[in-house]
Structure 1
Amino acid sequence: MQSLDGKRIAILATHGFEQSELEVPLKKLRDAGAQVDVVAPEAGEIRGWDKKDWGGPVAVDRKLSEASAEAYDALVLPGGQINPDLLRTDPAALDFIRAFDAQKKVIAAVCHAPWLLIETGIARGRNMTGYKSIRTDLANAGAKVHDEPVVVDQGIVTSRNPGDLDAFCDKIAEEVNEGRHRQRQAA
């Protein structure tokens, strides 16, 4: 993975995130030198979902109401079914995601998290992938859907499942090092 020294990355999540989809990027991006903050609507800890039951807690570094897209180079959105479903009904979470898009910063979503890109309107016209059960949702939102491990479209990185997290993290690092995607606009 490319070095991320001096870069700041936010991971936006709430209760019910898929354990590996938050913890693996958190570790890999920190190991590459990035300062990574777990941002959540609530302070304290959020609890993950680990395959078929509740998983462990993860400490929240910054409450969403105190976070700003301007402070970060990229945003990572872990999936799981519960986490993105809760966040897509949270206006502050959607505004946070839209702010990254407006600033042409990297946004990375794995598994069910592309639901958030649908809800914010970011999916329209983009090449994307996601978990098999949301691909119809992506297509209905106007995305160009691909059944590939990781798809990148002008700084929007999507991945279909937790088995692809190494490639997902590598693409996040690559896109962050490219910088802002000034040409990014929906097709």
Structure 2
Amino acid sequence: MKKILLLLANGFESYEASVFTDIFGWNLYEGDRSTELVSVGLHPVLDCTWGYSCVPMRQLKEIDLTEFDALAIPGGFEEANFYEDAYSEEFLAVIRNFDQQNKPIAAICVAALAVAKSGVLHDRSGTTYRFENNPRQEQMRAFGVNVKSDQRIVEDQNIITSSSPETSLDVAFRLLEKVTSSENTVEVKRRMGFSS
């Protein structure tokens, strides 16, 4: 069984987290049944971006990172204090740990900024939120990332980053493919009603 760590910062965007829980949940019941997703936070209760609360399955201090095979990180909003957790040393250390082990890391939208701040994307390629007149891509460049502004999703070795919430499903399916297989991912998509 491969274990996926869904790392949640306070102020995360629930839609971006739900694609991971849904796709890996479908895989557990309707796919090759080889994955387990565990949501983990820095607090017993997390506030989501849009004003409701979430109880993660585990606390970061309770888990052994070596038990996990991949890392998934949803983005969030500054107005909901997302960066307080996402830029904390505890959070960044998890990202560094997964990268040092060359384990897959999937970050949606501004979660890519935490990946960049951790240092693992320095002199590598990535992307983050790219809406016009928004500072996020420039912030990513300041962390030494080769930002691919024209791409929805950027994959550099073990790290997947993306440019908006719109990419969420594609990022989660790509992570599923990395930890299982392309054939299994196609079958999970089919069972979920996606045409291809």
**Unmatched 5+ residue regions in structure 1?**
1-5, 179-187
Instruction: Show the counterpart of 1:184.
Output: none
Q: Which amino acid aligns with 2:170?
A: A
Q: In structure 2, what residue type is equivalent to 1:41?
A: L
Indicate conservation of the 8 Å contact 2:99/2:158, yes or no: no
| Superposition CA RMSD, Å | 1.7
Q: CA deviation at 1:71?
A: 1.0
What are the residue-to-residue correspondences of 1:1-187 with 2, within 5 Å?
6-33=1-28, 34-43=35-44, 45-50=45-50, 54=51, 56-82=52-78, 84-132=82-130, 133=134, 134-146=136-148, 147-177=150-180
User: Structure 1 residue 84: deviation in Å?
Assistant: 4.3
Question: Amino acid of the residue matched to residue 74 of structure 1?
Answer: A
Is the CA contact 1:85–1:115 (under 8 Å) kept in the aligned structure 2?
no
Structure number with larger C-alpha Rg? 2
The percentage of counterpart residues that share the same residue type is 28
Paired residue total = 168
TM value normalised by structure 1: 0.82
Moved over 6 A (4+): none
- Kindly state the Cα deviation for residue 113 of structure 1 after the two structures are TM-superposed: 0.7
Indicate the SS of the match to 2:11.
Answer: coil
Q: Give the whole-Å Cα distance in 1 for the aligned partners of 2:170 and 2:19.
A: 11
Higher relative strand content: 1
Q: By how many angstroms is 1:30 displaced?
A: 1.9
Question: Which ranges in structure 2 are unaligned for 5 or more consecutive residues?
Answer: 29-34, 182-196
Instruction: Tell me the secondary structure at the aligned position of residue 8 of structure 1.
Output: strand
In 1, the alpha carbon distance for the partners of 2:93 and 2:141 equals 23
